[in-house]
C-alpha cells in the first residue's frame, strides 16, 4: 500500500526519541524526523526495516518520561535515511498523539501553550 501522496493530516518536523520494537525485540533507540496523526518518519536504526514490517514504537516526549506513548505502526516506505510508518491506535493513544502534534509549531519548535486536546496519562 502506497500512501505517500494520500496523507490526511499535516506532518510536523518533530525530533523525539523513539524506541523501536519488532516482535518484542528492541531494535534500538532513534529519533523521529516528522510526525502526523497518520504516521511518522523514523530515522534509520541499526536494523534494516522493510515495507509491511509491524512495529511497536515507544515515543518519548522528554528524557525523564516513565510512560512513553506506545503506538503500533506498519512500515509503508523505506529509504537510506529511515522509514515512513503508518500508525494504528485506539482512542487514548489518539488523544496523546493529538496533544503532541498540537503542542509543536509548524517549524517543529514546541509552543508555550499546550493544545486544546491536552490529556495527561491519568485521564481514562
Model confidence at 119, pLDDT cuts 50, 70, 90, reads: very low
Domain 17-102 has CATH 3.40.50.300: no
The per-residue pLDDT for 116 is 39
Q: What is the pLDDT of residues 54-79, one digit of tens each?
A: 999 999 987 666 789 999 999 999 99
Beta bridge partners of 87: 73
Q: Considering the entire predicted model, what is its pTM?
A: 0.76
Overall residue count recorded for the chain in this entry? 124
Which stretch of 27-31, 95-99, 110-114 has the lowest confidence by average pLDDT?
110-114
Q: DSSP letter for 49, please.
A: -
Is 95 a residue whose pLDDT tops 80?
A: yes
Contact in structure between 13 and 33 (CB atoms under 8 Å) = yes
| 82-89: average pLDDT | 93
Q: Where are the domains of the chain?
A: 17-102
Scanning the structure block, which residue is given the C-alpha cell 509549531? 105
Amino acid at each position: 500500500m502506497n500512501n505517500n501522496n494520500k496523507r490526511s493530516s499535516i506532518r510536523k518536523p518533530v525530533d523525539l526519541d523513539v524506541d523501536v520494537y519488532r516482535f518484542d525485540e528492541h531494535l534500538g533507540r532513534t529519533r523521529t524526523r516528522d510526525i502526523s496523526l497518520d504516521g511518522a518518519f523514523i530515522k534509520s536504526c541499526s536494523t534494516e526495516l522493510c515495507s509491511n514490517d509491524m512495529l511497536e514504537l515507544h515515543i518519548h516526549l522528554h528524557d525523564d518520561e516513565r510512560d512513553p506513548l506506545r503506538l503500533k505502526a506498519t512500515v509503508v516506505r523505506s529509504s537510506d535515511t529511515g522509514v515512513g510508518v503508518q500508525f494504528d491506535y485506539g482512542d487514548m493513544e489518539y488523544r496523546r498523539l493529538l496533544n503532541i502534534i498540537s503542542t509543536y509549531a509548524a517549524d517543529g519548535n514546541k509552543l508555550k501553550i499546550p493544545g486544546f486536546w491536552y490529556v495527561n496519562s491519568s485521564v481514562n
